[in-house]
Amino acid sequence: MRIKRKEKEAVSRRKYKATAENLIIDSVVWILLILILIITAYPFYYIVVASFSEGYDFMRGGVYFFPRKFTLFNYQALLSNEKWIRAFGVSTARTLLGTLLTTVITCLVSFTFSRPDLAFGKFYRFLVVFSMYVSGGIIPYYITLRNLHIVNTFWVYIFPAMLNLYFIMVGINFFSSIPTSLIESAKLDGASDLGAFFRIALPLSTPFIATLALFTAVNQWNAWLDSAYYVNSEGLRTIAYRMMTAINQTRGQQSNAGGDIVATATTMTTQASAMVTSMLPIMCVYPFLQKYFVQGIMIGAVKE
């Protein structure tokens, strides 16, 4: 169905004529896309500018494209704040461990559930689908977590996320597309079921694994709700939670009519530096995973 884009582009380029219609459409397309580019990219750029700006000076306004008073103070302030450092540690730990466990387990389970000869396979798959659509809601969920004694521990970030139901369904779809004969031939060569998974299925599933890992990592890194409500020890707070409290502080000052301008001035630019720092890991990883996850998303979303 796909991979004809290059061909198509070549065709359209060859046939291009500067007719009135083409000119009008092209200019509309250019204008709209440039507008979209600005609306999406500029906020990120602006935050970067703010993060390198001197707080009081930034508050005077008029800083749009370059820091008027360049400073690294915001980053220094951030990196000398133990709470933030600790939060970075917690977020890094949960992202690394969580991504590893979720990816391995979700992959393994979806491979298992995708085997056509699996005894009770239909029943297993039904259990997954059922729990995708029916859930107990937040309070029963919280009571369960408390009952399992993982509330207020680091594991509350890891264990509940280990099975990603949506990706199990995607994975079942994906692994079913691997020819059974491939798996069978590996087993004839003496490989066990899991041996066949690691030797045959896994190397073929890079797009699926990359997508799953990227999404899990992003979710783990961005999570703040569990840190706000399932944990009350300050040492377990995540970076996104710290961002949240920083915002709430600023909000509080706003509603105090005027408020403490001095504090606001520094929080605004420090927040920007925290934001840049917290986006950095994702920005670094995703260009490399990009080509895989476009494929990966397609596995999940497009019926052919």
Partner 1 sequence: MAADKTSKPDKGKGTKLLKKLRKQWQLQLVALGALVLLFLFCYMPLFGIVIAFKDYTVNMGFAGIFTSKWVGFKWFEQLFTYYQFKDIFRNTLVLSLLKLIFTFICPIILALLLNEMRVSGFKRVVQTVSYLPNFISWVLVYTIAMAFLSTDKGIINEVLINHGWIKSAIPFLSEPKFFYGVAVFFSVWKNSGYWAIIFLAAISGIDSQLYEAAEIDGASRLKRLWYITLPGIKSSVVTVLILSIGGLLGGGMGGSNFEQAYLFGNTVNYTTSEILQTYAFKTGLSQGRFAYATAVDLFQSVISVCLVVTANLVARKTTGEGLF
Binding residues for partner 1 restricted to 71-130, rule: CB under 8 A: 105, 108-109, 112-113, 115, 117-120, 123-124, 127-128
CB 226 → partner 1: shortest distance, Å? 11
Q: How many CB atoms lie within 10 A of CB 264?
A: 17
- 103 HSE (CA, 13 A, CB side): 23
Among 77, 97, 163, 204, binds partner 1 (CB under 8 A): 163
CB 207 → partner 1: shortest distance, Å? 13
Taking CB under 8 A as the rule, which mask of x and - marks residues 269-288 in contact with partner 1? --xx--x--xx--xx--xx-
Stretch 205-234 residues interacting with partner 1 (CB under 8 A)? 218, 221-225, 229
CB 133 → partner 1: shortest distance, Å? 8
Rule CB under 8 A: say whether 179 interacts with partner 1.
no
Provide the angle, in degrees to the nearest 10, between the axes of the packed helices 165-176 and 261-301: 30
CA distance 95 to 218: 8
Rule CB under 8 A: say whether 7 interacts with partner 1.
yes
Q: How many CB atoms lie within 10 A of CB 218?
A: 16
Give me 55's structure tokens: 């707080």
Tell me the residue type at 298.
M
3-state secondary structure (DSSP) of residue 289: helix
Stretch 45-74 residues interacting with partner 1 (CB under 8 A)? 46-47, 50, 59, 61-62, 64
Give me 11's structure tokens: 């065709």
Among 77, 97, 100, 162, binds partner 1 (CB under 8 A): 162
Among 72, 85, 129, 194, binds partner 1 (CB under 8 A): 194
Rule CB under 8 A: say whether 236 interacts with partner 1.
no
Q: What does DSSP assign to residue 61?
A: S
CB 30 → partner 1: shortest distance, Å? 8
Rule CB under 8 A: say whether 301 interacts with partner 1.
yes
CA distances from 87 to 93, 238, 246, 297 (A): 10, 5, 13, 31
Rule CB under 8 A: say whether 190 interacts with partner 1.
no
- Number of amino acids touching partner 1 (CB under 8 A): 106
The nearer residue to partner 1, 76 or 131, going by C-beta atoms, is 131
By C-alpha distance, which of 179, 202, 243 is closest to 107? 202
Burial level of 118, CB count in 10 A (0-12/13-18/19+)? middle
- 113 HSE (CA, 13 A, CB side): 24
The nearer residue to partner 1, 93 or 285, going by C-beta atoms, is 285
Rule CB under 8 A: say whether 262 interacts with partner 1.
no
Q: What DSSP line would sit under 77-114, residue for residue?
A: HHHT-HHHHHHHHHHHHHHHHHHHHHHHHHHHHHHHHH
Rule CB under 8 A: say whether 178 interacts with partner 1.
no
CB 274 → partner 1: shortest distance, Å? 9
Rule CB under 8 A: say whether 18 interacts with partner 1.
no
Rule CB under 8 A: say whether 40 interacts with partner 1.
yes
CA distance 7 to 14: 11
CB 12 → partner 1: shortest distance, Å? 7
Among 116, 137, 190, 203, binds partner 1 (CB under 8 A): 137
